[in-house]
Amino acid sequence: MQGRHSVMRSSMEEKDFQRISEMVAQIVDSRLGQMSSGFDLKLEQMTADIDTKLGQMTADIDRKLGQMTADIDTKLGRMTADIDTKLGQMTVDIDTKLGQMTADVDTKLGQMTADVDTKLGRQKEEILKEFGHQTSMQTEQIHKATAIVVEGHQMLAEKIDLIELRLERRIDSIAEQLDAHRCDTKAHGGAYRVMEE
C-alpha cells in the first residue's frame, strides 16, 4: 500500500515539476521572441535611415555637379562670344591680337580648369569625409545596439540559471521534508496512520 502511495506521490511531483518547467520555458520563449522582434525592427529602421541618407547625399552630389557643369558651360559660352565679338571688330593686326587673345584664353581656361579641378577635389574630399563619418557613426550605433542585445541575453541566461537553482533547492527541501514526515509517521506506528486512496 505504501509503495503505491510513493509511486503516486512521485508521479504527481514529476508532473508538477514538468508543468513548472513548461511554464518557465514558455515565458522565456515569449520574452526572447519580443526582444528579437524589437532588435529586428530597429535594425531594419537603421538600414532604411542609412539608405535614405546615402540617397540624399548622392542626389546632392549629382545636383552640385550638374550646377558646376552648367556654370562652366555658361562661362565658356560667354568667353567664346567675347572672343568672337572682339575678332569680328578687329580687322587690323589680326595675327598679333589673335595670338594675344588666344594666349589669354588659354591661360584663363587653364586657370579655370585648375580652379575647377581644385574645387572638385576639395568637394570630393569633403563628401568622402562626411560619408566616412556618417558610416562610422551608423556602425558604432549598430555595435552599441548589438552589445545591448548580447548583454540582455546574458542577463536572461543568468536569471534562468538562478531560477533553475532555486527550483532545485526548493524541490530538494520539499523532498527532505516529505521523507522526514514519512519517517516520523512510521516511527509512531499505530498512533498516526496515513490513508492512501
pLDDT, tens only, 89-130: 756 677 787 788 888 888 988 898 888 889 888 998 898 888
The C-alpha cell at 185 is: 509517521
Q: What is the DSSP string of 62-105?
A: HHHHHHHHHHHHHHHHHHHHHHHHHHHH--TTHHHHHHHHHHHH
Given a cut of 90, is residue 64 above it in pLDDT? no
Q: How wide is the angle at C-alpha 30 spanned by C-alphas 24 and 34, nearest 5°?
A: 145
Burial pattern 129-148, b for ≥16 Cβ within 10 A else e, equals eeeeeeeeeeeeeeeeeeee
Phi-psi region of 196 (alpha: psi -120 to 50; beta: other; left: phi over 0): beta
Whole-prediction pTM: 0.29
- 27-60 pLDDT, tens digit per residue, is 888 888 887 887 788 878 888 888 888 888 888 8
